[in-house]
């Protein structure tokens, strides 16, 4: 199994992306312990300092250290991204798998609903939902869950009905294997690969959406070092403090691209038929 | 014709889901709409009166019915930060946004289609690899960040294009019949205004489209790549057709349908993404209107924008799908 994983990256770009991806995850886990300064501490005497040996990435308009905020924010941004993905995968797959097992009219109705839901622009749906809840990072997370679930319902329903039409399911049926065993031991292990590809590709999409919502003002609120909120905060200083906007934007960009490359690689390695468009 | 009827039925179903979602947002998720509608300083008796007036003491199903019939009459409620009916606000703000999305879409198609076609033709080559890398980089760019950077560098430092706004100072009094500045200026023969409006559109449109273009190149490539392996391409080559002719007349004409469907959907997604761009470039439009409404916690205005964007999305998809069907009836015969 491990050996199989090692053979995945084929180019230097992919190797770099994996290293960066792991590094970013590591920083999100331990970054909060590495910060050189208090990320929330306002010090107007130190405001708008360009990158230097003391403040590697400079300070923002309220004199907060940008590097410290970036490291702290890694946790906030990535934790919310993963929160969205974990909940969405759980809810979406439950609906999708159930739909495939039940079949008939219920299946048809659920999938039509998912189709329609999936069509609407997710950003604007999430915007509506988050502002209905009252702007906060939690609201943005719930909002994205609300607009993202059909992706996984659709995908898991497709994969599950693929699996259910296989011969080993027919023999399991003949042996009288109960449904919950079929789900746990037949469907989920076989659906894992396809789900993993989608998850890797969605990490960047969800992260861009969360930071976008925070940028507009319906997500994390300004003193919080969420990357999108940091860009919104830095906007008013952009002409005399370009580093305040540049650093979090680059952080989002590098993280998103790394996970895109990883997702693309997983698709090539795990899904040779490339079922998805 | 059966396909068209089915497609329209699906759109009507989608409209019902959209109505249901926006109802959910404005009446259930947001807590008590009466408190919102009565304004921040209302007392308990005022709230109770508003509740009765809005029919909020009645069952949810009845409320949903009232909500739908209001919308069918063109009543989206009153915004309490502009003090205007939301419907008239949106009618005023929609043209600049549609104009922006339209220009963005043109840029998108002008990049996506040729690049997608060429990378499909030369799949596996060095050129394909480079484009793939660029595409993945493009798909990771935060739209709002790109907008700020472009504004600072191209407009601020190089002074190549205007920084913000919809028209330059000298044209600030220009008005037209439709609200679409590009169209109005052409109609009135004011080419200077047209050029000015276009110059103001380039940067926001480019920032808006880049993320979608990254997806567009990818989709075009995948929908074309299979076509190159088909027999008719081999035949065309055997008959000595030029490579350009094969690409444009044969492969593109046959493989474009799935790609064009996605571009139709992107139109609505882009309209939603204007919330990330218009504010930065100081352009009027429903994106900026929505952001303003959010900061004023004017939930009804926000939900109205969600509804209108959803509506435009449904329409653009319907039109693209029916147009594609009419252009190539063979493809949809079984659908």
For position B52, what pLDDT does the model report?
78
Closest CA to B216 of B173, B266, B166: B266
Is A238–B148 a contact, with Cβ atoms under 8 angstroms apart? yes
Distance of alpha carbon B158 from alpha carbon B161, whole angstroms: 8
Q: Is the pTM of this model over 0.80?
A: yes
Which positions ≥6 away from B104 have C-beta within 8 Å?
Answer: B204, B205, B206, B208, B209, B212, B270
Average pLDDT over chain B, rounded to an integer: 86
Is A131–B293 a contact, with Cβ atoms under 8 angstroms apart? yes
* Secondary structure (3-state) at B122: coil
- Minimal Cα distance from B157: which residue of A? A239
A180 burial via Cβ count (<10 Å: 0-12, 13-18, 19+): exposed
Is B152–A204 a contact, with Cβ atoms under 8 angstroms apart? no
Q: Chain B closest CA to A103's CA: distance in Å?
A: 21
Of A127, A204, A239, the CB nearest to B275: A127
> What secondary structure letter does DSSP report for A166?
S
Q: Chain B closest CA to A183's CA: distance in Å?
A: 30
Q: How many Cβ atoms are within 10 Å of B325's Cβ, its own excluded?
A: 18
Of B144, B148, B294, the CB nearest to A131: B294
- Minimal Cα distance from A205: which residue of B? B140
Distance of alpha carbon B157 from alpha carbon B149, whole angstroms: 11
Beta bridge partners of A59: A65
Give residue-wise pLDDT tens across range B168-204: 888 877 888 788 888 888 888 888 889 999 999 999 9
Which positions ≥6 away from A44 have C-beta within 8 Å?
Answer: A62, A63
Distance of alpha carbon B132 from alpha carbon B150, whole angstroms: 23
For position B39, what pLDDT does the model report?
67
ipTM, two decimals, is 0.87
Q: Are A128 and A210 in contact (CB under 8 A)?
A: no
Distance of alpha carbon B94 from alpha carbon A85, whole angstroms: 33
The predicted model gives B37-49 an average pLDDT of 75
Of B297, B299, B317, the CB nearest to A119: B317
* Secondary structure (3-state) at A128: helix
Of A13, A215, A277, the CB nearest to B144: A215
Distance of alpha carbon B206 from alpha carbon B213, whole angstroms: 10
Number of inter-chain CB pairs under 8 A, A vs B: 150
Give residue-wise pLDDT tens across range B299-311: 888 889 999 999 9
How does residue A11 score in pLDDT terms, banded at 50, 70 and 90?
Answer: confident
Average pLDDT over chain A, rounded to an integer: 85
Q: Is the pLDDT of residue B331 over 70?
A: no
Mutate to test the interface with A, among B10, B15, B20, B29 (most CBs of A within 10 A): B29
Lowest pLDDT segment from B29-33, B156-160, B197-201: B29-33
DSSP line for B228-274: GGSHHHHHHHHTT--HHHIIIIIIIHHHHHHHHHHHHHHHHHHHHHH
* Secondary structure (3-state) at A9: coil
User: Would you call A129 an interface residue with chain B, using a CB distance cutoff of 8 Å?
Assistant: yes
User: Would you call B275 an interface residue with chain A, using a CB distance cutoff of 8 Å?
Assistant: yes
For residue B187, give the H/E element and its range: helix B181-187
Total count of residues recorded for chain B? 335
Closest CA to B302 of B271, B267, B275: B275
């Amino acid at each position: 199994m491990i050996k199989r994983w090692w053979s995945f990256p084929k180019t230097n770009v992919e190797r770099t992306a994996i290293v960066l991806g792991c590094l970013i995850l590591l920083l999100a886990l331990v970054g909060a312990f590495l910060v050189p300064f208090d990320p929330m501490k306002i010090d107007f005497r130190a405001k708008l300092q360009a990158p230097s040996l003391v403040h590697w990435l400079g300070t923002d308009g309220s004199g907060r250290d940008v590097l410290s905020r970036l490291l702290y924010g890694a946790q906030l941004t990535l934790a919310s991204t993963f929160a969205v993905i974990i909940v969405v995968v759980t809810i979406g797959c439950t609906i999708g798998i159930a739909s495939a097992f039940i079949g008939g009219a219920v299946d048809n109705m659920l999938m039509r609903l998912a189709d329609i839901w999936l069509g609407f622009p997710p950003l604007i749906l999430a915007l509506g939902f988050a502002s209905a809840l009252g702007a906060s990072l939690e609201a943005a997370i719930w909002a994205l869950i609300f607009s993202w679930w059909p992706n996984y319902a659709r995908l898991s329903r497709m994969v599950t009905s693929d699996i259910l039409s296989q011969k080993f399911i027919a023999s399991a049926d003949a042996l009288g294997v109960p449904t919950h065993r079929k789900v746990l031991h037949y469907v989920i292990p076989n659906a894992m690969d396809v789900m993993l590809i989608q998850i890797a590709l969605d990490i960047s999409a969800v992260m861009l959406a969360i930071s976008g919502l925070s940028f507009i003002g319906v997500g994390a609120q300004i003193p919080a070092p969420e990357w999108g909120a940091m860009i919104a905060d830095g906007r008013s200083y952009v002409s005399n403090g370009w580093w305040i906007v540049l650093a979090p934007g680059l952080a989002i960009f590098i993280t998103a691209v790394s996970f895109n490359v990883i997702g693309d690689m997983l698709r090539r390695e795990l899904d040779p038929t490339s079922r998805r468009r | 014709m059966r396909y068209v009827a089915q497609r329209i039925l699906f759109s009507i179903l989608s409209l019902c889901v959209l109505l249901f979602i926006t109802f959910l947002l404005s009446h259930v998720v947001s807590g008590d709409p009466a408190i919102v509608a009565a304004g921040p300083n209302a007392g308990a008796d005022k709230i109770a009166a508003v509740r009765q007036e809005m029919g909020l003491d009645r069952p949810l199903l009845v409320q949903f019915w009232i909500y739908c019939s209001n919308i069918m009459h063109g009543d989206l409620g009153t915004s309490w930060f502009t003090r205007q009916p939301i419907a008239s606000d949106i009618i005023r703000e929609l043209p600049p946004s549609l104009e922006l999305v339209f220009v963005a879409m043109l840029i998108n198609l002008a990049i996506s289609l040729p690049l997608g076609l060429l990378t499909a033709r030369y799949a596996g080559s060095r050129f394909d690899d480079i484009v793939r890398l660029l595409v993945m980089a493009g798909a990771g760019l935060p739209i709002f960040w790109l907008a700020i950077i472009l504004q600072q560098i191209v407009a601020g430092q190089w002074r190549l294009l205007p920084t913000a706004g919809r028209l330059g100072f000298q044209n600030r009094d220009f008005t037209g019949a439709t609200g679409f500045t590009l169209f109005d200026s052409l109609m009135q023969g004011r080419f200077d205004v047209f050029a000015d409006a276009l110059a103001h559109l380039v940067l926001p449109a480019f920032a808006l489209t880049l993320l979608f273009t990254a997806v567009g190149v990818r989709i075009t490539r995948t929908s074309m790549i299979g076509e190159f392996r088909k027999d008719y391409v081999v035949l065309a080559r055997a008959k000595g057709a030029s490579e350009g002719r094969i690409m444009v007349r044969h492969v593109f004409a046959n493989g474009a349908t799935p790609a064009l469907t996605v571009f139709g959907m992107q139109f609505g997604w882009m309209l939603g993404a204007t919330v990330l761009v218009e504010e930065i470039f100081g352009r009027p439009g429903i994106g900026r209107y929505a952001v303003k409404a959010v900061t004023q916690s004017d939930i009804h205005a926000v939900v109205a924008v969600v509804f209108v964007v959803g509506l435009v999305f449904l329409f653009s998809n319907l039109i693209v799908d029916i147009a594609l069907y009419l252009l190539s009836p063979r493809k949809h015969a079984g659908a």
